[in-house]
């Protein structure tokens, strides 16, 4: 069997040994991951350098040779593939470590839940000490600036939003809330 570089399709191509070993070569390249273009040419191509690497690891009985052009393309791609494999192994180890940490956290949560249930069963009831502290989200009152003049509502004493009115309109006497209430009542 011979591996060549197909310039037209920019990939590795296998040339099978004619004769009695043809079927064994075919089974070997199928196992390595080569794909065919189908009829009428039936050209066997490697989708990636991995297929050629697997073929080199499991050489066919007829032997394996590689053309100089294919070897020139194969060498840098194989080196890059080996680097990628090393990085994938590191990521796999990292994923395992993360899964272990997550499992530890899940166990801790389960232990905390079991402790809470045990604590609850000893007391027989729930009270404020069983819950986390309450944090209020209400915002404190911020008084208006004393330097600025405000128009106050004649009805409730709140600020009148004068910026909502055009300068040509008469100056409002009531805030928006009081104005709405007074409009409904009249």
In this predicted model, what pLDDT tens digit does every residue of 45-82 receive, in sequence order?
A: 998 899 999 999 998 888 999 999 999 999 999 999 99
What are 138's two structure tokens? 């209400």
Kindly state the helix (H) or strand (E) to which residue 66 belongs, with its residue range: strand 65-66
Report the predicted TM-score, pTM, of the whole model to 2 decimal places. Answer: 0.50
Q: Could you tell me the pLDDT band of residue 120, with boundaries at 50, 70 and 90?
A: low
In angstroms, the CA 109 to CA 81 distance is 41
Number of neighbouring beta carbons within 10 Å of residue 154? 12
CA–CA distance, 33 with 20 (Å, rounded to integer): 22
- In SS3 terms, 121-181 reads as HHHCCCCHHHCCCCCCCCCCCCCCCCCCCCCECCCCCCECCHHHCCCCCCCCCCCHHHHHH
- pLDDT of res. 176: 86
Q: What percent of the chain has pLDDT over 90?
A: 37
pLDDT in tens, 143-167: 767 676 778 888 888 888 777 778 8
């Amino acid at each position: 069997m011979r591996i060549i570089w197909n310039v037209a399709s920019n990939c590795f191509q296998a040339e099978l040994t004619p004769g009695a070993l043809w079927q064994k070569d075919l089974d070997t390249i199928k196992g390595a991951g080569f794909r065919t273009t189908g009829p009428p040419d039936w050209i066997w191509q490697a989708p990636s350098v991995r297929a050629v690497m697997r073929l080199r690891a499991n050489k066919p009985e007829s032997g394996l040779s590689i053309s100089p052009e294919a070897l020139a393309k194969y060498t840098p791609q194989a080196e890059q593939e080996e680097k990628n494999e090393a990085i994938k192994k590191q990521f796999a180890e990292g994923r395992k470590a993360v899964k272990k940490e997550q499992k530890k956290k899940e166990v801790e949560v389960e232990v905390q839940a079991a402790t809470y249930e045990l604590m609850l069963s000893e007391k027989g009831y729930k009270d404020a000490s069983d819950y986390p502290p309450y944090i209020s989200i209400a915002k404190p009152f911020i008084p208006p600036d004393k330097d600025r003049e405000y128009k106050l509502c004649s009805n409730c004493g709140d600020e009148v939003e004068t910026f909502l009115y055009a300068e040509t309109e008469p100056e409002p006497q009531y805030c928006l809330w009081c104005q709405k209430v007074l409009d409904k009542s009249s």
